[in-house]
Structure 1
Amino acid sequence: MPSNTIRIRAQVKGGTTEVKSLIKHPMETGLRKNKAGKVIPAHFIEQVTAELNGTQVMLANWSIGISKNPFLSFKVKGGKVGDALKLSWVDNKGESDSIETKLS
């Protein structure tokens, strides 16, 4: 997978950080077939992690039930404007990507 597969926005509102992200990934289940009738191999994100100032604040274990180009939204208590948030993913083929942004 090419890099830059993650778009992210993280905003602090009333002591809570709201994170919204969009991840570009095919998320193939391994159950579909192509036009020739051959099974399309499984290719999906297995793990997504978020770190706030180097401390893990979210871990999601995914499987084949997640849609193509998944949208992820979550809230974390704490965080200040300017703090660093890093979001990373790893898929079943060992491919990965990550992005770091500052809270606004």
Structure 2
Amino acid sequence: MASTIRVRAIASGDTTQVQSLINHPMDSGFVKDSKGQIIPPHHIEVVEFEHAGKVVFTCLWGPAVSKDPYVKFSFKGGKKGDDLKVSWVDNKGQSDSTVAKIQ
């Protein structure tokens, strides 16, 4: 199965800019389908970005985050060629992770 996470990390000086897009429905539990039935909640709760064994950014999300969420941030200490691990866990226990090289 292909990863649900797309990530780009670019080092510039001592700062690394990170952009990530996660493919996820992010259902709130308040929307009805075409038959009028409530679509159960299904949303990401935790997203973590790790560099050199340390968590550099954490997102704590709930049902208010939109479908296919996008994250952009920067951190200090990344170098070209280093690994950046991205992982998420949702409210149904599903998860995904990927590792990207910093460019």
- CA–CA distance in 2 between the matches of 1:99 and 1:38? 34
SS of the residue corresponding to residue 19 of structure 1 reads strand
Residues 11 and 17, structure 1, Cα contact 8 Å, conserved in 2: yes
Superposition RMSD on alpha carbons, in Å? 0.9
Q: Report the CA distance shift for 1:43/1:3 in structure 2 as closer, same or farther (over 3 A).
A: farther
User: 1:14, CA displacement in angstroms?
Assistant: 2.1
Percent identical: 50
Residue identity in the other structure for 2:30: L
Match of 2:65 in 1: 66
Match of 1:51 in 2: 50
Residue identity in the other structure for 2:78: G
TM-score by structure 2 length? 0.96
Residue identity in the other structure for 1:87: V
Aligned length: 103
Match of 2:3 in 1: 4
User: 1:85, CA displacement in angstroms?
Assistant: 0.4
- CA–CA distance in 1 between the matches of 2:88 and 2:2? 11
User: What runs of 5+ residues in structure 1 fail to find an aligned partner?
Assistant: none
Moved over 2 A (4+): none
Residue identity in the other structure for 1:38: Q
Residue identity in the other structure for 1:54: G
- CA–CA distance in 2 between the matches of 1:27 and 1:81? 33
